[in-house]
Amino acid sequence: MTSRNSSTQLWLITHYHENGSLYDYLQRTALDVETCLGLAASIICGLVHLHVEIFGTQGKPAIAHRDLKSRNILVKSNRQCCIADLGLAVMHSQGSDYLDIGTNPRVGTKRYMAPEVLSEQIRTDCFESYKKTDIWAYGLVLWEITRRTAVNGIVEEYRPPFFDVVPSDPSFEDMKKVVCVDQQTPVIPNRLFSDSVRLRRGLGGASRGLQFWGTRLQSTHGGATSSGWQRGRGRVEPGTPTPKLLQTLGEVWGAWGGLGSLGRFGEPWHHPKHRSLFAPPPPRFCLPWLR
């Protein structure tokens, strides 16, 4: 707030990120594996923070983004990401159980819409449904990031998800046919499998780093049990949102670790190979996303 010529002015000051959006960054920059993991992990940390309701004087409601995509993610100078453009976000407070979704649940960028949105079967009265659509979109962003990651000296040009099966500006019906009728998902580049051991180790380290972050969140804002968040003053939102996101992170990233297809980005993915995702991490992967 400033005053000029006896007139009060309100200024909004924000950070400037010269790297621009993740979409822009991937257009011009090829990634190594460590940068790939740093970008991916910082995005999921931001998504965890949005999805969790925090109580107290410095608290906030639970938030689902509803338009997560590479254009709405900014890359900071330290090559970590922050989530931007919450114009379509929906908030939920457990105390009032109120959802401010408006009259149209079909919002967001069509290319990144989840199957339940495209099929118009999403539960519009359930906040968990909107969190799951964010996870679907995050899976597509992961595909964009890994496509631009160099493995054995090979890296593809940037392309948006489903670039080979829909027009540059797909309609709602275009995406519905591809995702719901044909049940297509983006193709994982074969070159990623040639370095699957290194990727799994790195992804496992990133996952453990996120578990450390989740533990810190719990200790700051409330306890947790294996069956759910404890109810009480200063708690984090019940319903195990953070563990669920951590689990989904392992499920989504597990597909890159040596399996042949993605399946449903947001659905459980059970496979014995995924156990290697949660092996003890290299030290360098444990703390960077807490800063």
CB 255 within 8 A of CB 270: no
DSSP string, 186-244: PPPPTHHHHTHHHHHHHHHHHHHHHHHHHHHHHHHH--EETTEEPPSTTPBPSS-HHHH
CB 68 within 8 A of CB 137: yes
Verify whether residue 67 is a known catalytic residue.
Answer: yes
The helix or strand, by DSSP H or E, that contains position 249, with its residue range, turns out to be helix 241-256
Contacts of 200 (CB under 8 A, 6+ apart): 257, 258, 273, 276, 277
Q: Is 42 helix (H, G, I), strand (E, B) or coil?
A: helix
Catalytic-labelled residue, pool 24, 32, 67, 85 = 67
CB 28 within 8 A of CB 58: no
Question: Which residues, listed in sequence order, are joined to residue 82 by a DSSP beta bridge?
Answer: 74
Pairing mode, strands 224-225 and 7-9: unpaired
From 114, 99, 101, select the one nearest 53 (Cα to Cα): 99
For the annotated catalytic residues, the residue numbers are: 67
